[in-house]
Amino acid sequence: MNSPCAPSPAQSRVPGQRVGLLSLGALVLLLAACATLAPGTDPIVVRTEQTLKISSAVYDAGMTWCEGHVSALSPAALKLANDIRVAYPPAYRATDSALQLYKAGKGGDVLGQMAELDRIARELMTLVKLAGGPDLTGGAK
């Protein structure tokens, strides 16, 4: 794939696999419905795991949409899509690593890493929406 929007080879997406936007919307709504935490659960762990799942689905759907709609993207939007493609995998890994350290009681900047991952996912959602693509939030606020 020669598109600047194509997922990087390090991305774990299976070639040809597409995330349906309806299933993405259902995932977002399901996770939003789980806003109440069970007694005894650690809110940092729960929220970080939710962020990892949602951001992964948003990244996959957003990059897939960009790849199929390169002509709809301006040169600046293509550059931003490529910047996101490069920035997302290390941000995801850093967030997951910080979460594992936190769970092991060894600290870890979970909140800082999670905020960066969330920022990248929101930037991609905005890019796709402004380029005329689908609302990757599934209608969730």
Q: What is the pLDDT of residues 99-108, one digit of tens each?
A: 999 999 988 8
| Residue 69 · residue 130 · CB < 8 Å | no
Tell me which DSSP letter residue 7 carries: P
Mean pLDDT in residue range 53-70: 95
CATH architecture for segment(s) 43-130: Up-down Bundle (1.20)
Residues in the chain: 141
Q: What is the pTM of this model?
A: 0.72
The predicted-structure confidence for 4-18, as pLDDT tens digits, reads as follows: 444 443 444 433 334
Mean pLDDT in residue range 24-53: 71
Q: What is the mean pLDDT of the chain?
A: 79
Measure Cα distances from 15 to 34, 94, 105, 120 in Å: 31, 24, 37, 22
Q: Where are the domains of the chain?
A: 43-130
Nearest C-alpha neighbor of 1 from the set 86, 68, 71 = 68
What is the reported pLDDT for 141? 42
What is the reported pLDDT for 40? 78
What is the reported pLDDT for 137? 81
The residue behind tokens 């299976």 is 14
| Residue 98 · residue 109 · CB < 8 Å | yes
| Residue 94 · residue 113 · CB < 8 Å | yes
